[in-house]
Structure 1
Amino acid sequence: MGHRAAPRGGRHRRHGAALVGFALALLLPGGEQEAGAQAGRAPTGAPTTAAAQAPSASADPDGAGTLREGDSGPAVKDLQQRLLRIPNVYDHGSTNGTYDATLTAAVARFQLWYGIRGDETGVYGNDTRADLESRTTL
């Protein structure tokens, strides 16, 4: 019996058709996850438990007690009073309890002059708070 030769390019056509099918599967909704599972790997778009749980809107991204421009209240007033005790940092600054641009500049100046790192410039975070509280009393 004779062996019949495959038509020229037949194997390449089958592989090409498979690649086109795979590419189309990726374009379908959820296709990337299905294609990833077919390829024997975990889907790249699958959310993890930690990633699926978004932080609440009221959670402070910098940590509890962090103050920044736009904040107001007794904690801001405490910050203002402490900065007034540091020479030339917040001279004649207000103690109205509002974190404004003047207070932001004073916090940034304090951070720069005393070499405080770890908090965003002009933001009263844990590192800035610890340093300022160690230098002042109310």
Structure 2
Amino acid sequence: MDGPVLRRAAIGTAVVAAAVLGFTVAMLLPGDDAARADRPTTPAGAPVEAADGVPPGEADPDGAGTLREGDSGPAVVELQKRLLRIPDVYVGGSTDGTYDAVLTAAVARFQLWYGIRGDETGVYGDDTRHDLEARTTPAAG
């Protein structure tokens, strides 16, 4: 092969690699429009959702005790401490008890890396909880 052919092949390979990397990163970032599109909207005067994102009187599809962005408290601290024990999932993450965008991304990363399918991406539901608890010990006080 001569120089121009190799150069074109290298450029083509770089473009494909960049596209794959960009797609992968986009799938892990919270707050994209596609994720919001499948969330129901609340018309004016309708019942407001509870802090866990589930309308009053309805069971959470991800299981009782599900945690998601916007939640806070001791259960979130427990989740944060457990995720810190999984290499490279929540590096330098906070244990402040706030389920923020960084924690959502860490939960999504954990789900992706360990093939957890039963919960919404970035949501700490029953399937994610069982897998994380099987891989870690309870958080120390």
Q: TM-score range by the shorter chain?
A: 0.5 to 0.7
Alpha carbons of 1:87 and 1:56: their partners in 2 closer, same or farther (altered >3 Å)? closer
2:114 alignment partner in structure 1: 114
Using CA pairs below 8 Å that are at least 6 residues apart, which structure has the higher relative contact order?
2
Amino acid in structure 2 at the alignment position of 1:82? R
The gaps in structure 1 that reach 5 residues or longer are 1-54
Cα deviation per residue 1:90-138 (whole Å; 9 max; x = unaligned)? 0000000000000000000000000001100000000000000000002
Amino acid in structure 2 at the alignment position of 1:80? Q
Task: Tell me which structure has the larger Cα radius of gyration.
Answer: 1
For residues 77 and 59 of structure 1, the distance between their equivalents in structure 2, rounded to whole angstroms, comes to: 26
For residues 57 and 97 of structure 2, the distance between their equivalents in structure 1, rounded to whole angstroms, comes to: 20
2:5 alignment partner in structure 1: none
For residues 92 and 67 of structure 1, the distance between their equivalents in structure 2, rounded to whole angstroms, comes to: 20
Cα deviation per residue 1:60-107 (whole Å; 9 max; x = unaligned)? 523211000000000000000000000000000000000000000000
2:60 alignment partner in structure 1: 61
For the Cα contact (< 8 Å) 1:104–1:122, is it kept in 2?
Answer: yes
For the Cα contact (< 8 Å) 1:107–1:122, is it kept in 2?
Answer: yes
Amino acid in structure 1 at the alignment position of 2:103? L
For the Cα contact (< 8 Å) 1:69–1:123, is it kept in 2?
Answer: yes
1:102 alignment partner in structure 2: 102
Alpha carbons of 1:134 and 1:76: their partners in 2 closer, same or farther (altered >3 Å)? same
SS at match of 1:103: helix
SS at match of 2:69: coil
1:77 aligns with 2:77: yes
Q: Give me the TM-score of the superposition, normalised by structure 1.
A: 0.58
For residues 98 and 75 of structure 2, the distance between their equivalents in structure 1, rounded to whole angstroms, comes to: 10
Q: Give me the TM-score of the superposition, normalised by structure 2.
A: 0.56
Q: How far apart are residue 57 of structure 1 and its match? A: 1.2
Once superposed, what is the RMSD of the aligned Cα atoms? Answer: 1.6
For the Cα contact (< 8 Å) 1:60–1:66, is it kept in 2?
Answer: no
Amino acid in structure 2 at the alignment position of 1:107? V
Aligned ranges 1:32-43 → 2 under 5 Å? none
For residues 76 and 127 of structure 2, the distance between their equivalents in structure 1, rounded to whole angstroms, comes to: 16
1:136 aligns with 2:127: no
The gaps in structure 2 that reach 5 residues or longer are 1-53
1:42 alignment partner in structure 2: none
Amino acid in structure 2 at the alignment position of 1:129? R
